[in-house]
Amino acid sequence: MPQGKLFLIPNVLAENTADAVITPQVKEVIAHTKVFLVENLRTARRYISSLKLGVNLEEVHMEILDKNTAPESINRLLQPLFKGADVGIISEAGCPGIADPGALAVAHAHTRGIQVVPLSGPSSMFLALMGSGFSGQSFAFHGYLPIDKKERNQALRKLEAESAKEHRAQIFMETPFRNNQLLEDALAALSPQTKLCIAKNLTAADELIQTKTLADWKKNPIDLHKIPTVFILQSF
């Protein structure tokens, strides 16, 4: 029996943007897939419903794949693939496998010879980098920085030093309700001449992508509380 394919299905970054950012190919795959691994059942169902594809959600099987999923359970979650059914992974936002637990399933699929099919869609990391004005030739994505203030400040200074040494853009993020604290720490811990790109509410009507020195950000405060944001710093 031929094995199914593992589709990596992008989700929207902002509400009511699917018509603009979700491709016909993604919609076609969703319409013909009956098994999904998702971070959140409620939001995944709402996303599929919002596409108005005529999918009967009662006929769709969903399993949770999130940060708490044990690696040893991945083989069980991928069983439909081994029986010939296609499986789609849907991230909570953006593209599966980037700062996302879907990478666990992808890695396991490769060990079992399963074809992995990543689909094009919005990625906050790459949209921010594209709009930052920093070089895309050398960059690093660090995901979430430490929560502890002292450790976070150390991490920020380390990223700044590495950026200056390697001429590398450093991309990171934070849980939206801690964005302001992260920005405050960056303003206090880093050189005023270091440049920081703030990319918030990407793809939404009020999207903002702006790059300034930290000195300029201090003069022009911005409120990022509970707003999905990507940060990129570059030290020259």
Q: What is the tens place of the pLDDT at every residue in 127-166?
A: 999 999 998 899 999 999 999 999 999 999 999 999 999 9
Q: What pLDDT is recorded for position 198?
A: 98
* Alpha-carbon span 98 to 222, nearest angstrom: 27
For the whole model, what pTM was predicted? Answer: 0.91
Whether 87 has a pLDDT exceeding 80, the answer reads: yes
What tokens were used for 63? 């399993």
Instruction: Please report which confidence band the pLDDT of residue 225 belongs to, taking 50, 70 and 90 as the band edges.
Output: very high
Residue 24 DSSP SS3: helix
Which residues lie below 8 Å from residue 165, measured CB to CB, with a gap of 6+? Answer: none
Q: What pLDDT is recorded for position 101?
A: 86
Count other C-beta atoms under 10 Å from residue 16's C-beta: 10
Residue with tokens 């079992």: 112
Instruction: Please report which confidence band the pLDDT of residue 99 belongs to, taking 50, 70 and 90 as the band edges.
Output: confident
Whether 167 has a pLDDT exceeding 90, the answer reads: yes
Antiparallel, parallel or unpaired: β 208-213 and 195-200: antiparallel
Residue 140 DSSP SS3: strand
Q: Which whole-number Å values give the CA distances from 228 to 69, 80, 161, 176, 224, in the listed order? A: 24, 34, 26, 5, 8
Instruction: Please report which confidence band the pLDDT of residue 98 belongs to, taking 50, 70 and 90 as the band edges.
Output: confident
Give the containing element (helix H, strand E) for 117: strand 115-118
